[in-house]
Amino acid sequence: MIIIDKLLRERQQSGKPIRVAMVGAGVVGKGLARQITRYVEGMDLVAISNRNLSSAEKAYQEAGVNDFLVVENAGELQDAIKQERPVVTENFTALCEAEGIDVVVEATGSFEFAASVALETIQNKKHFVTVNAEMDGTVGPILKAYADKAGVMYTNSDGDQPGVVLNLFRSIKEMGLRPVMCGNIKGLQDPYRNPTTQEGFAKKWGIKPFMAASFADGTKISYEQGITANATGMRVAKRGMHGPSVKSGTPIEETIHLFPLEDLLEGPGIVDYVIGAAPGPGVFVLATTEDDVQKYYLNMYKMGEGPLYCFYRPFHLCHIEVPNTIARAVLLNDATIAPQGAPTVEVISTAKIDLEAGQTLDGLGCYTLYGQCENADTARAQRLLPFGVAEGCKLKRNIARDEVLTYDDVELPKGRLIDKLRAEQEAVFSIQP
């Protein structure tokens, strides 16, 4: 989005920068605070909220900002904005309610809490940007419907694989080609990884062990591909996706034949991934065309003879690219990646170990469950338990390792927003088996 730099420069020169508030000050939040503060003109980070206030303070300090105020409510926050003083607070609702804020960015990595932030932001008619694929993949469609009604933007972010692949997807469609697969490139997948096995990796990179485990056990990529499917109308060819593994460093162009051609060419296309291909941290899109002249030109331009053409981007830079999404949402009313309507793919709960009746399920990247993709109509027909509502549920029966869970297998905790939003989502979109 080359135009973004020009528009942000104009905002800077006019003295009207985009005013950003952020909820969450973990690894991504700290990185984003630093990125906006140090490198993005035309954008000010005016407030950070975190349930642990010291983490919000540290996010500013690591960005080189030490002159900030601690506030408790929206009124105090508004006064600070007028004084051009950055703010930290434990009260996320202050960010949602305060005047003078253009957009709220959610960077918590949670389900229930993140959904609360999203709904509060939207109901206060502010644009909402999330870096949270897990929450988005659970209740994104209904939150997008709320945002549309309120006249504000709901969008996931550039920098992570789904946003990067959607940029590529849109460019390919502009060329007149038909995307038939949105793909992700992984280095490892083992559904039985947990915080204990990933402790060393987590310590090396300064992230929480459960988050490292969610990368390794396949839950993270399931959510990434799930929200990509929901934004494009694509599906999965099979439960869990194909996910072929190749020799490390195999060029992604050489992996095309590993996917059944009929899965790609019949229907709306699929989301999937490859393990071990290069470029390692990148994304790719497979596309096709029935235009013989277009095929001639693509061959001439070294894209091959078809019928599939592989386009890829060799990197994604997470928080470094999130400001592009913020600017697109505020300045252009353009979502980087958002649900297009009814969900097409869900992430379902699958037992990581043998589980016993009476056991309470833990959450993302922990010890009891991993997530895998399933088509939404199948998930609905079989009453499969979404991963995003599983944490805190109590089992009614024994579950064997690798068995998928259903709503009938668990007792849901009472009074949760995530369950209310799921019920609304199913009612609004009438997802039919």
pLDDT(103) > 90: yes
Per DSSP, the residues of 190-247 read -TT--TTTTHHHHHHHT--HHHHHHHHTSHHHHHHHHHHHHHHT-B-SSTT----EEE
Residue 431 — pLDDT band, cuts 50, 70, 90? low
pLDDT at 207: 87
Taking alpha carbons only, the member of 232, 286, 290 closest to residue 263 is 286
The fold for domain 3-159+319-332 equals Rossmann fold (3.40.50)
What is the spatial distance between Cα 320 and Cα 39, in angstroms, rounded to a whole number?
9
What is the spatial distance between Cα 332 and Cα 155, in angstroms, rounded to a whole number?
13
The first and second tokens of residue 311, run together, are 């386009």
Helix, strand, coil % (nearest 5) of the chain?
40, 20, 35
Long-range contacts of 397-400 (CB under 8 A, 24+ apart): 397/357, 398/354, 398/355, 398/356, 398/357, 399/351, 399/354, 399/355, 400/351, 400/354
Cα 268 to Cα 36, 263, 265: the distances in Å are 37, 9, 8
| Cα dihedral: 416, 419, 195, 374 (round 10) | 180
Residue 1 — pLDDT band, cuts 50, 70, 90? low
Residues 6+ apart with CB under 8 A from 185: 252, 273, 274, 277, 278, 279, 280, 281, 282, 283, 284
Q: What are phi and psi of 101, to 5 degrees?
A: -110, 130
Neighbours of 196 (CB within 10 A): 10
Residue 433 — pLDDT band, cuts 50, 70, 90? very low
Residue with tokens 């939404």: 376
User: 223-253, pLDDT tens digit by residue?
Assistant: 999 999 999 999 999 999 999 999 999 999 9
Q: What is the separation of C-alpha 47 from the centre of its chain, rounded to a whole number of angstroms? A: 22
Q: What is the separation of C-alpha 134 from the centre of its chain, rounded to a whole number of angstroms? A: 6
Q: Which CATH number fits domain 345-429: 3.90.1210.10, 2.40.37.10, 1.10.3720.10, 3.10.180.10?
A: 3.90.1210.10
Cα 187 to Cα 43, 274, 277: the distances in Å are 35, 8, 8
CB 164 within 8 A of CB 316: yes
The first and second tokens of residue 147, run together, are 């945002």
Q: Is 426 exposed, middle or buried (0-12, 13-18, 19+ CB in 10 A)?
A: middle
What is the spatial distance between Cα 14 and Cα 406, in angstroms, rounded to a whole number?
55
76-84 average pLDDT score = 95
The first and second tokens of residue 101, run together, are 């804020």
Residue with tokens 């592989």: 310
Residue 280 — pLDDT band, cuts 50, 70, 90? confident
User: 331-389, pLDDT tens digit by residue?
Assistant: 999 999 999 999 999 999 999 999 999 999 999 999 999 999 999 999 999 999 999 99
Angle at 331 (CA atoms; ends 328, 332), nearest 5 degrees: 65
What is the spatial distance between Cα 117 and Cα 111, in angstroms, rounded to a whole number?
10
User: 178-225, pLDDT tens digit by residue?
Assistant: 999 999 999 999 999 999 999 999 889 888 888 889 999 999 999 999
